Amino acid sequence: MKKCIVCNSDKLSLIYNGTLFKCDLCSYIFANIGISNEKLSDIYCENYFKGNEYLDYLSDKIVIQKNFQYRLNKIQTFKSNIDLNTIEIGCAYGFFGELFVKNNKNSSYLGIDIVAEAINYGKNEFGLNLIAQDYLTFVSPQKYSHVFMWDVIEHLEHPDLFIEKISNETVSGSELYITTGDIGSILSKIQKQNWRMIHPPSHLHYFSKKTISLLLAKFNFEIKSIEYNPVFRSVKQIFYSLFLLNRPGRLLARKIFKHIPENWFIPINTYA
């Protein structure tokens, strides 16, 4: 029987034509789908970054790193004279790691991801310390002061187990940074099942400010801040996601898409 990972209740209701479950007690929402490790491996492969989810992740490096640099600027607890022991879970091709290492020479950085092709790229291109492995099976040789999970938690089969493991592998006073969508936002409530974040099996978990706070508190994390920050997006990627992703046969849309310049980026803040 399915249970809520936030409050452990088994009192669940189906919403959005049976696509999602919603906990009747705490309002946590998750996908009505069972997924095996084999299926996860099929989803999160090189093609995930080259057409299945992203148009072309590597080609979007400039705009992706603009977002990562913005986040680093926002969380400048990092000082050049302080040694930090950091891990990034879901590091992909190492775009965040490259920036972090450049800006924090005295700190250690480890990136972990299940996509071997992405890990090999980050190792070869940036010389980063990266591991191709599931974090839940990874035996950490040390404890961390800072943990980063950028747009990762919604993809995980067991996000509660990740947060529990992070709690056990971090030092007192450590900091955990998470980005994800807010299903409690005004935009999500207006769009309902058409909200851009709702597309299982890629996205399995849908947090609100309340439920992400409850999950973190369950494993002894204290919430310092929840913010809605603008995100730079490639105009080409936006058009692809809205009009072409999983929509074959749209000839007019494909013609328009071909004429969108590669270097068009815009900041967007949907507060969601």
Q: In whole numbers, what is the pLDDT of the chain averaged over residues?
A: 91
Residue 247 has pLDDT above 80, yes or no: no
Whole-number pLDDT of residue 167:
98
Query: Which two structure tokens, joined as six digits, stand for 251?
Result: 């000839």
Report the C-alpha gap between 255 and 264 in whole angstroms: 17
Would you state the pLDDT for residue 115? 94
What pLDDT shows up at residue 44? 79
- Range name among 16-30, 64-78, 179-193 with the lowest pLDDT average: 64-78
Q: Please, which pLDDT band fits residue 78 given cuts at 50, 70 and 90?
A: low
Q: What pLDDT score does 235 carry?
A: 86
For residue 242, what are the contacts with CB-CB under 8 A and spacing of at least 6?
none
pTM for this predicted structure: 0.88
Share of residues in the chain with pLDDT > 90 (%): 66
Has residue 81 got a pLDDT over 70? no
Q: Where are the domains of the chain?
A: 36-179, 231-272
Which secondary-structure segment (H or E) carries 234? strand 231-234
CA distance 27 to 210: 9
For residue 217, pLDDT beyond 70: yes
**What is the three-class DSSP state of 48?**
helix
According to the model, what pLDDT value does residue 222 have? 95
Q: For residues 1 and 124, which has the higher predicted lDDT (pLDDT)? A: 124
Domain spanning 36-179: CATH 3.40.109.10? no
pLDDT band at 258 (very low <50, low <70, confident <90, very high): confident
Supply the Cα-derived Rg of the chain in whole angstroms: 19
Model confidence at 42, pLDDT cuts 50, 70, 90, reads confident
Alpha-carbon span 122 to 202, nearest angstrom: 23
Residue 107 in tokens: 């700190």
- The pLDDT of 105-133, averaged and rounded, is 96
259: exposed, middle or buried (C-beta count within 10 Å: 0-12, 13-18, 19+)?
A: exposed
